[in-house]
Amino acid sequence: MTVSYALLGLLKGSSRHGYDLKRSYDRRFGEVKPIRFGQVYRTLSQLERDGRVEVVGVEAGSGPDRKRYSITSEGVTDLDTWLGEPEEPQPHRQSVLFTKVVVALLSGRSAEHFLDVQRARHLDAMKALTTARRNAATTQDALLADFQLFHLEADLRWIDHTESRLAALAEEVRDVPDPRRR
């Protein structure tokens, strides 16, 4: 998720000040991808420059003047296009977990120990997320916790699967020439 599309989505309902957008963003997305006020205003400036939002009012306050932003028809079209395009699955993304296992094997360290410690870290995170889901005040909070839990479960399955294949992996990662490069 990009910040610009999140802000466009938040503006879809009504015009808002940057401060209001930041608060609304934090409430919905801030736990996973926090942003600073400066990033909100920088993004709004870019969206305005690109014709996707416009300033529809300026109000004087105790500090600097507060601009009220509204999404333009171009912004609505862009948001609709973005929402209509499925995200590209990333099954080939090499994770840090995989890299650590291979490096542990290459350096003569215990990959099994790393996997055990990682499993414990994942289980602790899952316990905290399960509690958060149970105590979730909103459906949105519960679904976000579910999303995170499902990803951790997939990591745990991978950790178990990798542990069962460590001996074979250790043989493969030894510093031997790659047969595909001849």
User: Do residue 112 and residue 54 come from a single domain?
Assistant: no
Residues of the chain with confidence (pLDDT) below 70: 1, 89-94, 175-182
138: nearest Cα among 28, 60, 50 = 28
Q: What is the pLDDT of residue 1?
A: 47
Tally of domains within the chain? 2
H or E element at residue 125: helix 111-134
Given 51, 84, 117, the domain boundary residue is 84
In terms of Cβ atoms closer than 10 Å to its own Cβ (0-12, 13-18, 19+), residue 176 is exposed
pLDDT digits (tens, 9 = 90+) for 149-175: 999 999 999 999 999 999 999 888 876
Gap between the Cα atoms of 32 and 26, Å rounded: 9
Residue 72: inside a domain, yes or no? yes
pLDDT digits (tens, 9 = 90+) for 59-81: 887 777 789 999 999 999 999 99
User: Do residue 117 and residue 71 come from a single domain?
Assistant: no
In degrees, rounded to 5, the angle at the alpha carbon of residue 38 between the alpha carbons of residues 34 and 40 is 65
Gap between the Cα atoms of 135 and 114, Å rounded: 32
Given 29, 58, 84, the domain boundary residue is 84
Structural domain harbouring 71: 3-84
pTM: 0.67
Residue type, 105: L
